[in-house]
Structure formats: C-alpha cells, structure tokens
Amino acid sequence: MNKTFTVKFQKVIGQLRFRPTLDNFHNVPNVAKEIEKDFEEWKAEGNSNITLYSLKSNELFQLTSGSLTFVKEGEDDFINDSSHSVDKLKNYLKDTLKKDESFAIEKIHRIGFRITEILETDFEFQDLVDLIYKKFYSDSEKINEIASDEKRDTVFVLDSRKNGCFVHTHIGPLKTEEVEKHLNSTFDLGKKISKNCIFIDVDVFIDSDLDMDNVYDNIDKIITENNRIVSDYVNYLNS
C-alpha cells in the first residue's frame, strides 16, 4: 500500500487521577526526589505540584497530590519505537506508587491515555478538507443542499465507548501554520512541520470501578486500545 500520509510527530499523555489526601499533599516532594535522577530539570508550582523535565528525551512527569501525568513527544525515532515510551509510562506510574508508602491512593477517579499524531502530506489544504468530509461524513445531496456547497474546513468528532473504554476522537486537516498552535508542544517540536497535515487525537479513558487491585491491568488495557484505534485510523486514511 502506498502511504498518502506519513506520521511525522507523536505526543502521548498518560494520566492517573485520584482523591487527594493531606498525606499526599505533603509527600509529593519526597516522591519526586526519588525519580529526579531521570530528569535534568524540574519546577514546582507549590509543594504539591512538581514537574520533572527531560529535554534530551522530550518527556515530563508531573506529580500532584491528586494526579500523576506523563508526557512524551517525539519524531521519527520515537514513533518507530513508541512501545518504549509506553513502557516508561507504565513503569513511572507503577514505580511512583511504590516509592513512598505514605503516598497512598485511596480512591482512583480516572485513568487515561491520549495519543496525538500529526500526519504530513503533499495534499493541498482544500484536498484534505474534501477527503475528511468524504471519509467521515455523508456526501449525500441533501447535506450539500443544507449547508455545504463549498466546504472550507471540517473536523470529525466522535464520543464513543468500545471494549469497556470511553473514547474521545478528533480528526481533521491542518494548514502548515496551524500545526504548532494545535499541537501545543511542550518541547517546540511542532515548529519543525513544513507541510499541510492531518491530526488524529484519540483519548481513551476509564472513570469507574477502579482500585489498586485492577488499575495496572486497566492501564495496559487503555494503552492497547488507543494504539489499536490510532493505527486503524491511519490505515483507513491511507486506504
């Protein structure tokens, strides 16, 4: 299959939200100190909100009294070995919870895994608008009669549930000058995009029936589900 779209950039975000406690409020710095060696920089927006950064690997890990968040961005090498980032995400979430017994999680509210991919193409922007409309929306005469004689832009949006997970999906075209703003890159990688693009943004999450006995299995589940969905969308666009 000849690929019309090439994945140029990928951003993954993994997050665990839980009920904050006073113990956790005080112990965020202790937990952050245990993993500080893996990062070159850090900043603190108060005692209970610390973010560790690695400019070498374009990743960050944020710890608060009510959440753990991992962000990883990258281009070709990262995309080709994205499983490495997924493993790091799982390890950070798992290891952090074991670093300090006083940092206990009593009630888990939500776990989520989000992938944003930027797909480069040689298509003109209007061609991308027409393609997204044709792929994801009805191209019937009735739709055209109502409001679409001239399609200027379009975005596919879907809130759904599949395989026990909630899924938020956004897919649409981007002009070259829109990529950086849309991506909101922590590490300024969006500036390197030089062509029109399509973005795929998929957020998979679970927000009920979570506890420490099943959270790790569910983390694996949402990561696997998100990777499947994004891969299938890319293949569909290239078909």
Of 209, 227, 207, 232, which Cα lies nearest the Cα of 90? 227
Strands (E) across the chain are located at: 6-18, 41-44, 49-54, 59-64, 67-74, 108-120, 156-162, 165-174, 197-206
Rounded CA separation 223/165 (Å):
11
Rg (CA), the chain: 20
pLDDT (tens place) for every residue of the chain, 239 residues total? 456 888 888 888 999 999 998 888 888 998 888 889 889 999 998 889 999 999 888 899 999 999 999 998 887 655 555 555 567 767 777 776 665 566 778 899 999 999 999 999 999 999 999 999 989 987 777 777 887 778 899 999 999 999 999 999 999 999 988 888 887 888 876 566 778 999 999 999 999 999 988 988 999 899 999 999 999 999 999 88
What DSSP element (H or E) covers 87? helix 82-99
**151 C-beta neighbours (distance < 10 Å), count:** 16
Rounded CA separation 55/92 (Å):
17
Question: Which distant-in-sequence residues (6+ apart) come within 8 Å of 153 by Cβ?
Answer: 129, 172, 173
Rounded CA separation 222/205 (Å):
6
- What is the CB-side half-sphere exposure of residue 36 using CA atoms within 13 A? 12
DSSP state of 86: H
Q: What is the pLDDT of residues 87-102, one digit of tens each?
A: 776 777 777 666 556 6
Strands (E) across 156-208 are located at: 156-162, 165-174, 197-206
Q: What is the pLDDT of residues 200-209, one digit of tens each?
A: 999 999 999 9
What pTM was estimated for this model as a whole? 0.90
Sheet with 49-54: strands ordered across: 41-44, 49-54, 59-64, 67-74, 6-18, 108-120, 197-206, 165-174, 156-162
